[in-house]
Chains A and B, each alone.
Chain A
Amino acid sequence: AQSVTQPDIHITVSEGASLELRCNYSYGATPYLFWYVQSPGQGLQLLLKYFSGDTLVQGIKGFEAEFKRSQSSFNLRKPSVHWSDAAEYFCAVGGSGGYNKLIFGAGTRLAVHP
């Protein structure tokens, strides 16, 4: 079955520290992978996406993610976290061939200490 696992429900980091949010997926075909961010009371905003090609993808707000097929992972990273990065982060997987629904992980809530 198709699924996305985000093992960390809550993460707290200090401002300026590095960040890595984990995402593992189970998908029978070539996955299309996404990271979305949701700030309180806001909709989902796309941070970055992986369709094919270079396995290290750059996104907005200084985020990057690396697709590792052998580990079925798509972890999100940021070298230096800002207080404004506090939000909930969702990893999602979708398919090709016109079947476009997204399957989301449960989300990781990030808190940033000053």
Chain B
Amino acid sequence: GAGVSQSPSNKVTEKGKDVELRCDPISGHTALYWYRQSLGQGLEFLIYFQGNSAPDKSGLPSDRFSAERTGGSVSTLTIQRTQQEDSAVYLCASSPGQTYNEQFFGPGTRLTVL
């Protein structure tokens, strides 16, 4: 079956602009995660959605970052007023449920802020 998909694969934006990154999880997976992979910081957890529960936003680096998950499926990560330090690869992952399971990762969106 289809894996986790993310769009766009690459995004170049100017400092100060807003961007939206999209994640389509594997069908039927109730848990969805966003991570950021950047030079010098490695892979960092950003936010986690599980079903209809309130998301765990503890990894979001600032209030410029927000995420939504509509209908328990597609998720959008929004970065407002982008800064150069936001340049990174943003990875989305999904997993089948609340008990611990493997996370399946998408190919990522490479964001470059000029």
Q: Are B100 and A51 in contact (CB under 8 A)?
A: yes
Q: Are A100 and B105 in contact (CB under 8 A)?
A: no
A-B contact pairs, 27 of them (CB 8 A): A32-B100, A36-B105, A42-B107, A43-B91, A43-B106, A43-B107, A43-B108, A44-B91, A44-B93, A45-B105, A46-B103, A90-B43, A94-B100, A96-B100, A100-B31, A100-B48, A100-B103, A101-B45, A102-B35, A102-B45, A102-B103, A104-B35, A104-B42, A105-B42, A106-B42, A107-B42, A107-B43
B95 contacts the other chain (Cβ, under 8 Å)? yes
Q: Are B105 and A43 in contact (CB under 8 A)?
A: yes
A79 to chain B, nearest CB (A): 24
B61 contacts the other chain (Cβ, under 8 Å)? no
1/0 per residue, CB under 8 A from B, across A20-58: the answer is: 000000000000101010000111111001010000000
Nearest-CB residue, chain B, relative to A49: B102
Which residues of chain B are near A102, meaning CB under 8 Å? Answer: 33, 35, 43, 45, 103
A98 contacts the other chain (Cβ, under 8 Å)? yes
B16 contacts the other chain (Cβ, under 8 Å)? no
Which residues of chain A are near B33, meaning CB under 8 Å? Answer: 100-102
A111 contacts the other chain (Cβ, under 8 Å)? no
- Chain A contact-residue range equals 20 to 34
A102 to B93, CA, bound (A): 11
Best-buried of B43, B99, B107 by chain A (most CB within 10 Å): B43
1/0 per residue, CB under 8 A from A, across B85-108: the answer is: 000000101010011101111111
A98 to B50, CA, bound (A): 9
Beyond A32-B100, A46-B103, A106-B42, 7 extra complex contacts between A and B, CB < 8 Å: A43-B4, A44-B93, A46-B102, A102-B33, A102-B103, A104-B35, A104-B42
